[in-house]
Amino acid sequence: MNLPPVRKVFEGVADRRQMFRMFDRHAQRPNRWQGDDSVLYRGEWFEIGQVEHDYMFEVLPPLWMRGDMFAMREFLTGNITSVFVSLTIDGRSRYFHGYCDVSDRTSPAQMRDVITERESRPAKAMTRDERLEHIWSATNDDYRGYADWRFPLAARGRRIVIVYGRDRGRDFKLLDQLTDAEIGAKLPVHLRYLPDAIAA
């Protein structure tokens, strides 16, 4: 699996239900408890509201606080834990959640810098990878999963989502093999026609 070191996984501001759901976007993965899945989570981030940010701050005493950031005391897997960031971007306060490997002391600052750069761009746009991650984050568990015995051996364990054909038939397809038309059909209308962003 070749994932960017820090990546946006949801476009828009996640509400509380979406936030809790995205805390474990990979809950259905095969062999969930049989290895270190840190690579799946490390670097994932998305925007939340101030109410959600403040709620998470009050859940438990933080592991640490650094100015505009705090880390959760509970670890998700390995050295991966939730880091919450409050930033002022274009004169507006905004709030974010991300997963950082706290064994790397530079990880939280790197994530904060990537978020600031990404969200400071003058035009709203999404990369193909961001579109795919948004689809994965927004799709109900009944309509997404991981490739099993029905797929070729090389594809097993990769992410799949349900697609609908012109004949109203449906089938699962590898997420990273969706066509532009299939991606457009799965995105909400307000995201379908955003320009393509150049990946950093």
Domain residue spans in the chain? Answer: 7-119, 128-192
Q: Is the pLDDT of residue 36 over 70?
A: no
pTM of the model: 0.86
Residue with the two structure tokens 């997420």: 175
Predicted local distance difference test score (pLDDT) of residue 193: 63
The string of DSSP letters for 158-200 reads: SEEEEEE-TTS-EEEEEGGG--HHHHHHHS-HHHHTPPBPPP-
- Provide the sign of the torsion angle of the four alpha carbons 41, 43, 46, 51, taken in this order: positive
Residue 4 has pLDDT above 70, yes or no: no
Give 110-142 pLDDT, tens digit per residue.
Answer: 999 999 999 987 777 888 899 999 999 999 988
Pairing of strands 144-146, 159-164: antiparallel
pLDDT at 200: 47
Helix ranges (H only) for the chain are: 16-22, 38-41, 50-59, 107-119, 128-138, 180-186, 189-192
